[in-house]
Structure 1
Amino acid sequence: MTRSSLSGLTCMTYRTVTSADGTSIAYEVFGAGPPLIAVCGATCDRALMRPTAQALGEHFTTVDYDRRGRGDSGDTLPYAVEREIEDIAALIDRVGGRAHLYGHSSGAGLVLHAVAAGLPVDRFVLHDPPYSPDDESAREEARRYGQTIRSLLAQDERADALETFCRLTGMPDEVIDGMRGTHRWAELTALAPTLAYDSAVMGDIERGGEVPEDVAARVPRPGVVLVGDENPPFMAEVGRRLAQLLPEGRHHVIAGHGHVVPPDVLAPVVAEHLRG
């Protein structure tokens, strides 16, 4: 099935696949080669991930999709991380029954859950998974964030929830103020309910957002953790710790970059690791 939709300023034709609970998941495909599914993080949809997916399409048949509740995908309540794993399973089935996975930010956390659940994944890349450092104050901050986000969204205070997320990521107040009233702010506010989904994926309330050792212990496939060296130092520590928990896990530092890496720099690194 294909339909045409205005996403940002670009009109794209997309396809849909039906997940196990009946939710329609919208996706696009770029390039040729072994199948790869790209999983975005918080406040991101397939439109924002598109440049990365196109760059990865130089090496793989890359699937760029709207996670449930975003863009052109549906959203069936109540939410559960297991439903998002089923979404990825439906996409893997659609592309032939096996695939590599690439996840960025909290999307990396979702990829970790998907691989641990036993989906037919060949290799996977976790890019900057934003787990909490091994520190009780950081874990408590993650719990407060998760509870605050859920409380605000329960009251349909989407803008306040978005501001809470932006401040958590270190965005200055003047930047937030400058975004208010813009088209981009409206787009992000529409995505705000999914902030609770990413918080659940990262285990903010349940584990204080720390690295989920029990999940990593169930991973049956080789994987790599990518971290930019311009991130806060704790990100490298978290990435290194997670890589050590994975079977044949590797930790790769991308020099000269932070949380967002230009697609032309990122794609060859991802391809190198997925090709083994």
Structure 2
Amino acid sequence: MNTVVSADGTAIAYSVTGSGPAVVFVDGALCHRAFGPGTALAEQLAAHHTVYTYDRRGRGASGDTAPFAVEREIEDLAAVIEAAGGSARVIGVSSGAALALRAAASGSGSATSPSTSRRSAPRTGSASGSPRTWRTWRRRSPRAGAATPPPGS
């Protein structure tokens, strides 16, 4: 586990796996690195990307500083992106998707190509989320970094 300090002094815990262009995964509100879709997705992307998963503020091993504000979470994401080298593709699910989009819209310039999903992860056995469909999509995606989920997921 690594930590980075956000703009307000809050410690944010993160993990890194893989090699390649940086991708930061932003989990939903009820998840953290050890509980949620981030770890499984990181494993799938790690062959072609350096994937950063982190515990959002107040979750897992990350700290929390009152009062809560979405702007603090955007600063947290920016701190993780800075740890990733200053620029990264961002994947978000659920409330993490909204956070990824807000970070990209904030004009900081560090969150590139935000990808979002309303569902936390492809469901095994469903037509659009089967492991075979995911692998097929991944093979067809550009190596330099398509970090969006397959259509229909």
Q: Which amino acid aligns with 1:21?
A: D
Q: What residue number does 1:265 align with?
A: 134
Between the two structures, name the one with larger relative contact order (CA 8 Å, sep ≥ 6).
2
Asked if 1:256 is matched to 2:127, the reply is yes
Q: After the TM superposition, which segments of 4 or more aligned residues of structure 1 sit over 3 Å from their partners?
A: 261-264, 269-276
Q: What residue number does 1:54 align with?
A: 43
Q: What residue number does 2:87 align with?
A: 98
Q: CA deviation at 1:42?
A: 2.7
The percentage of counterpart residues that share the same residue type is 44
Q: Which amino acid aligns with 2:138?
A: P
Q: What residue number does 1:127 align with?
A: 117
Q: What residue number does 2:30 align with?
A: 43
Equivalent pair of 1:107/1:129 in contact (CA under 8 Å): no
Separation of aligned partners in 1, 2:15 and 2:115: 20
Residues 257 and 94 of structure 1, relative CA distance in 2, 3 Å threshold: same
- Residues 224-271 of structure 1: CA deviation (Å, up to 9, x unaligned): xxx97x9xxxxxxxxxxxxxxxxxxxxxxxx7247xx76982782895
Q: Which amino acid aligns with 1:265?
A: W
Q: What residue number does 1:29 align with?
A: 16
Equivalent pair of 1:25/1:67 in contact (CA under 8 Å): yes
Q: What residue number does 2:68 align with?
A: 79
Residues 89 and 31 of structure 1, relative CA distance in 2, 3 Å threshold: same
Separation of aligned partners in 1, 2:97 and 2:10: 22
Structure with the largest fraction of helix: 1
Q: SS of the counterpart of 2:53?
A: strand
Q: Which amino acid aligns with 1:104?
A: V
- Residues 142-169 of structure 1: CA deviation (Å, up to 9, x unaligned): xxxxxxxxxxxxxxxxxxxxxxxxxxxx
Residues 269 and 22 of structure 1, relative CA distance in 2, 3 Å threshold: farther
Alignment map for 1:1-276 (pairs within 5 Å): 14-47=1-34, 48=36, 49-119=38-108, 120-128=110-118, 256-257=127-128, 265=134, 268=138, 272=142, 274-275=145-146
Residue ranges of structure 1 left out of the alignment (5+ in a row): 1-13, 131-226, 231-254
- How many correspondences in the alignment? 140
Q: Which amino acid aligns with 1:124?
A: P
Q: SS of the counterpart of 2:76?
A: helix
Separation of aligned partners in 2, 1:125 and 1:89: 16
- Residues 190-247 of structure 1: CA deviation (Å, up to 9, x unaligned): xxxxxxxxxxxxxxxxxxxxxxxxxxxxxxxxxxxxx97x9xxxxxxxxxxxxxxxxx
Residues 85 and 60 of structure 1, relative CA distance in 2, 3 Å threshold: same
Report the RMSD for the aligned CA atoms in angstroms: 3.1
Equivalent pair of 1:25/1:66 in contact (CA under 8 Å): yes
What's the TM-score, normalizing by structure 1? 0.45
Separation of aligned partners in 1, 2:68 and 2:132: 31
Separation of aligned partners in 1, 2:69 and 2:94: 19
Q: Which amino acid aligns with 2:20?
A: G
Separation of aligned partners in 2, 1:263 and 1:25: 34
Residue ranges of structure 2 left out of the alignment (5+ in a row): 148-153
Residues 100 and 81 of structure 1, relative CA distance in 2, 3 Å threshold: same
Q: What residue number does 2:151 align with?
A: none
